[in-house]
Amino acid sequence: MVALVSRKGRELQRYNYKGCRLVVGCIPYRYKNVNNDEEVEVLCISSQKGHAMLFPKGGWEMDESMEEAALRETIEEAGVQGNVECELGKWSFKSKRYDTYYEGYMFPLLVKEELESWPEEKVRTRRWMNVKEAREVCQHWWMKEALDVLIGRLTNTSQRDEEEEEEEEEEEEEVSTCSLS
């Protein structure tokens, strides 16, 4: 169980060898059935000041794995839990606000539970949206790239699953034809 209080301070913060702060985040997603077709929806959150939308992310600390940090940040900022999947990639970016560089890692998170109450619910809003809308509203270029990687991965997985199903059906037809001979 994750404590429902956001961590504060930078005492346990990780930095890379160049002194860049390491941050991790998730793209929370789910499948929504639309006209018998599975559509991917992603969960965006507002920035703390409420002016922009983004995906949950924050500092990777010394006492946790990258995946644990990504899940913690997602629970704190977006109030959802689920399965953290394989890393989408690593991005280097500069913060306009602090004039410093960061190294960010993003993960997909297949949402299993949406919490009614979460640590940052008073300072952030959350909103499910389709991928096209998320690309339009997300304020960070590197998060948009991570979203593209996720959608590419999900599309390839879906196509592979369909191809495997077709192959299995063809094999079943061959077996039944052989049985008749």
Residue 8 is assigned to a structural domain of this protein: no
Residue 10 is assigned to a structural domain of this protein: no
Residue 49 is assigned to a structural domain of this protein: yes
Predicted structure pTM score: 0.81
Q: Quick one: pLDDT at residue 51?
A: 81
In this prediction, what percent of the chain has a pLDDT beyond 90?
Answer: 68
Amino acid at 142: W
Which long-range CB contacts under 8 A does 91-99 form with residues at least 24 apart? 91/142, 91/145, 91/146, 92/20, 93/140, 93/141, 93/142
Domain ranges, residue 79: 21-175
In this prediction, what percent of the chain has a pLDDT beyond 70?
Answer: 79
Are β-strands 89-95 and 80-84 bridged in parallel, bridged antiparallel, or unpaired? unpaired
Residue 61 is assigned to a structural domain of this protein: yes
Q: What is the CATH number of the domain that holds 168?
A: 3.90.79.10
Residue 180 is assigned to a structural domain of this protein: no
Distance CA 124, CA 47 (A): 6
Residue 6 is assigned to a structural domain of this protein: no
Q: Quick one: pLDDT at residue 23?
A: 97
Overall domain count for the chain:
1
CA-wise closest residue to 77 among 39, 42, 40, 44: 44
Of the two residues 112 and 50, the one the predictor is more confident about is: 112
Read off the pLDDT of residues 10-68 as tens digits, 9 standing for 90 and up: 678 999 999 999 999 999 999 998 766 779 999 999 998 878 999 999 999 999 999 99
Q: Which helix (H) or strand (E) holds 159?
A: helix 141-180
Distance CA 43, CA 126 (A): 7
Residue 1 is assigned to a structural domain of this protein: no
Residue 102 is assigned to a structural domain of this protein: yes
Q: What is the DSSP letter of 20?
A: P
Supply φ then ψ for residue 50, to 5 degrees. 80, 10
